[in-house]
Structure 1
Amino acid sequence: MHAAPAHRPLLALLIRLGAVAGLATMSALIKLASERGVHLLEIMFWRQFLTIPVMLAWVWATTGGIGSLATNRPWVHFRRGLYGTIGMVLNFGAVIILPLAEATTLNFTVPIWAVLLSIVLLKEKVGLWRWSAVALGFIGIVVIAQPGSGHFPLYGALVGLGAAFMIALISIQIADLNKTDKPLTIVFYFALFSAPLTALALPFVMTSHDSTEWLLLAGIGVTGLVGQLLLTAALRFGKVASVIVMDYSALFWATLYGSLLFGVLPPASTWFGAPLIVTAGLIIAWREHRFAKTLRREAAPLEGT
């Protein structure tokens, strides 16, 4: 069995920062590919399929064989692949439907969904601070979406929130898989199980592409792979509640790419709502950090007996 990873919070933060940059670049490329007529499901297929040979070549070159990708939990990886495929549909869909900054900001609700999932799945008791953060976060969503104003389509907001929910759910799965498997193994099996699922749609959605579109699809595969590896590695060395603060740097990248590539800057409502959602996430991360410190302090006397 794979040894439990060491807790290295600073390294985890730096890795997560790199993951955010990689995934933000992937999102911009997805939007460019979609605007050129490439179907969402085909984008998903190439994003995952390209991962498989690249990872096999890398593992073969660095270890001399693929034995390091072995796992004793294939069904857990299959379930992660199924959930991840659903999450990709929503996440990529939000990027295509919404401006990059708005899609990114809705992703910041992941900690809020994580709190709600901890209540439902882990039966945790949530106190005033975290409930207040949940309420603050949803106020931020309302400010950004402006229901009934026509600011952007309601279904786009729902897709974006659904994507954030799936990320929170998948983060729990990845944290569990990190206890036994390496990041390379987790990412490889995600691609291995999800690529065939998306391939089923290719006869209905695939079209011919020019060189630019093939470069975009290749870029999506590479940046997605790098981002996914770093994202998984960050959860290997740090807790979700600690590393998630780096995710807010995605708004910088989304604003930059939105301005340079699409000539779109976030409206005032996004700048008013985003700080509310970010503050909610920081409160949740702070409470998780305090809670973890309390547990370690209480456990210390027991370990010394």
Structure 2
Amino acid sequence: MATDRLLPAIVLRLVSVVFFAAMNAVIKLAQIHGASVAEILFYRQFGAALLVGSVIACGPGLRSVATQRIPAHIGRAIVGLSAMAFTFSGIVALPLAEATTIGFSVPIFATILGALILREPTGWHRWVAVATGFVGVLVVAQPGGAHVPVAGAACAVAGALGTAAVSILLRRIGRTEAPLTTVFWFSTLSLVPMGLIYAQVAQAHDRAAWACLAGVGLLGGCAQIAMTWSLKLGPVTLVVPMDYSSLLWATLFGWLIFGALPPAATWAGAPIIIGSGLYIVWREHVRRREETRQAASQGLS
């Protein structure tokens, strides 16, 4: 792949990380100002749907997102919304740095689900990385400790598991669907159940809360677009490691906005989780490269 595409891919991924980190901070602010998780979820998807729909309408056109796989997109929306609900609950309950660090366990869960559901070959190297990553999660979560609420940590872990399940679904959907098509249908289909729920929980807010809710949708939509385009320009093994820079932003926002700094346990567990995740990504790259080499050899023989 040309280097003039790799640099934009890295930049877009880093930009998406900043947007997601800012969105997480605004989620906590929205909750502080009285918004419920259900309301935050609705405006996250509503804002993203408006933004993504506008980008598509002004660019390739709405015909470009026509699909024959509505059931697959509905399944992705159900799993994605569930994962997002748990993730947002974790963000609300935990300090930003801790919620972000636990979220780094997504590659660990993706490895397990890939082996169980997709029957992907998973050698002992990656199983050791999975076990090591869970040790890191335990270090950060500190079961029984006072700093990290058990319910909040459980929600964060469930959110990571759900996000990993989404990645498995996207591997299947991505065989026939373009990235923007997937993002568009996820955002729009989500509005159906979230609209029904929102009608039951909607409440009056002050200007600060409304500004936060609007910010969640705008930041989430921008982050989603930047992340999607980064994957179009660069391989997963190049852009995904950029996600770990979100811990720096989570720590910065947590300190500047909420006056919270991560304890020693978070700094001890984060490198373990990040290291295991990077190793899993690297082993996946090695596996795919070997499969490509074998396929090429068989084609020449």
Q: What range is the shorter-chain TM-score in?
A: over 0.9
State the identity %: 42
Aligned residue among 133, 136, 141 for 1:137: 133
Which stretch shows the higher mean deviation, 281-290 or 124-133? 124-133
Q: Distance in 1 between matches of 2:212 and 2:256?
A: 16
CA shift for structure 1 position 32: 0.5
CA shift for structure 1 position 169: 1.2
Q: Could you tell me whether the CA contact under 8 Å between 1:174 and 1:235 is conserved in 2?
A: no
**Match for residue 289 of structure 1?**
285
Q: What secondary structure, in the 3-state scheme, does the structure 1 residue paired with 2:146 have?
A: coil
**Match for residue 248 of structure 1?**
244
Shift in alpha-carbon separation, 1:129–1:123, aligned structure 2, 3 A: same
**Match for residue 278 of structure 1?**
274
Q: Could you tell me whether the CA contact under 8 Å between 1:52 and 1:188 is conserved in 2?
A: yes
Shift in alpha-carbon separation, 1:279–1:273, aligned structure 2, 3 A: same
Equivalent AA in structure 1 for residue 80 of structure 2: G
Is 1:173 the counterpart of 2:173? The answer is no
Q: What secondary structure, in the 3-state scheme, does the structure 2 residue paired with 1:201 have?
A: helix
The 5 A counterparts of 1:37-56 are 37-56=34-53
- Runs of at least 5 residues in structure 1 that lack an aligned partner in the other structure: none
Q: How many residues align?
A: 300
The 5 A counterparts of 1:1-305 are 11-63=8-60, 65-304=61-300
Q: Could you tell me whether the CA contact under 8 Å between 1:99 and 1:258 is conserved in 2?
A: yes
Equivalent AA in structure 1 for residue 267 of structure 2: W
CA shift for structure 1 position 53: 3.1
Which stretch shows the higher mean deviation, 22-31 or 7-16? 7-16
Q: Could you tell me whether the CA contact under 8 Å between 1:6 and 1:237 is conserved in 2?
A: no
Q: What secondary structure, in the 3-state scheme, does the structure 2 residue paired with 1:207 have?
A: coil
Q: What TM-score results when the alignment is normalised by the length of structure 1?
A: 0.91
Give CA deviations for 1:12-56 in whole Å, capped at 9, x if unaligned: 443322222111111111010001110110111111112333333
Q: Distance in 2 between matches of 1:267 and 1:137?
A: 19
CA shift for structure 1 position 242: 4.5
Q: Distance in 2 between matches of 1:25 and 1:253?
A: 8
Q: What TM-score results when the alignment is normalised by the length of structure 2?
A: 0.92
Give CA deviations for 1:170-224 in whole Å, capped at 9, x if unaligned: 1222233333222222111111111121122223321112222222111111110
Q: Distance in 1 between matches of 2:118 and 2:2?
A: 24
- Runs of at least 5 residues in structure 2 that lack an aligned partner in the other structure: none
